[in-house]
Amino acid sequence: MATDPNPGGLISLLQDIQARYGYLPADQLKAVAQKTGRPLTDVYGVATFYRSFSLKPRGKHLCSVCLGTACHVRGGPIIADEFSRQLDAPAGETTADREFTLETVNCLGACALGPIVVVDGHYFSNVSPVGVKEIVERARAGLDRVEVKTDQRIFPVEVSCARCNHSLMDAEHLVDGHPSIRVTLAFNSVHGHIWLSSLYGSFNVESDHEIPMDTVADFFCPHCHAHLTGSANCPVCETPMVPMIVRGGGIVQICSRRGCRGHILDIGGQVF
């Protein structure tokens, strides 16, 4: 086959599209062919050649079961069967509710720990058929939730309002098993309470209302009703941050944008 005299990052383009949509829609592939001047057959050939590209919409969670040699002899196929039974979808397919995509891969490079399963980038080693159900349930609940008990770096803070210095802790409402931080919140003419985890490093929250991702909310003290949003901006996304006084000295600032993980903890001039 004649080598292309003008190769131009086709794979990178397709990776960007896949990152945006989760798969490669047909009209996007046609647009790539048109914009880059490449024949559609080349674009389609590359898109179908690589396993990491998918032409079909994928589920929210991606389960990759390793069927490499080591995992295979340690029971990888049984794990794959159990997954497809639990999810009610054959390997390579997406469940009807678009929650899970099950795929088999040929090696994940951790052969000593087989059988290996990777769900949403989290590795599970020495998986047994009995453990499959738990993995599925944890993935459904969201693996990105912080495992509070296992992480020693996470510690609780007690905070108070930066204006009236009343404690914001709510001992009756536990988040992550610790008293939560209760503030009132307003966005898009919605008012309600939000309970933030008092563990620094955990981003779990509970709220009266579902807060859409990327919403920038206003925070108020439940005691003095002062507007808590401060003057500092989030180091991650430049959204104004909400300062709160830490008991024992110091200030913690949290980003007011939902989903942003920009937090600053300043205790006695020492920034964490």
Partner 1 sequence: MITLSINGLPLTVEPGTTLLEAARFLGIEIPTLCHMDGLTPYGACRLCVVEIGSAPNAKLVSSCTYPAQEGLKVRTGSARVVRARRMILELLLASCPQSKAIQDLASAHDVRRQRFRQEHETCILCGLCVRMCAEQMMAKAIGFRGRGERRSVGTPFDEPSEVCRLCGGCMYVCPACQLRCTFNEPEKAICGGCANLSAPCLEKPGFDDLMCYMAPCAACEIRKD
Residues in contact with partner 1 by CB under 8 A are 1-2, 26, 29, 39-45, 48-49
Of 45 and 222, CB closest to partner 1: 45
| Least separation in angstroms between CB 15 and partner 1 | 18
| Least separation in angstroms between CB 50 and partner 1 | 8
| Least separation in angstroms between CB 145 and partner 1 | 37
Of 26 and 186, CB closest to partner 1: 26
Of 1 and 19, CB closest to partner 1: 1
Closest CA to 158 of 96, 244, 233, 83: 244
Of 29 and 228, CB closest to partner 1: 29
Of 102 and 168, CB closest to partner 1: 102
Among all chains, which residue has been given the structure tokens 């206003």? 218
| Least separation in angstroms between CB 16 and partner 1 | 20
Closest CA to 167 of 206, 89, 223: 223
3-state secondary structure of 175: strand
The DSSP code for 115 is: S
Q: Distance between CA atoms of 78 and 54, rounded to whole angstroms? A: 25
Do the beta carbons of residue 239 and residue 153 sit within 8 Å? no
| Least separation in angstroms between CB 25 and partner 1 | 11
Q: Distance between CA atoms of 31 and 271, rounded to whole angstroms? A: 48
Do the beta carbons of residue 156 and residue 204 sit within 8 Å? no
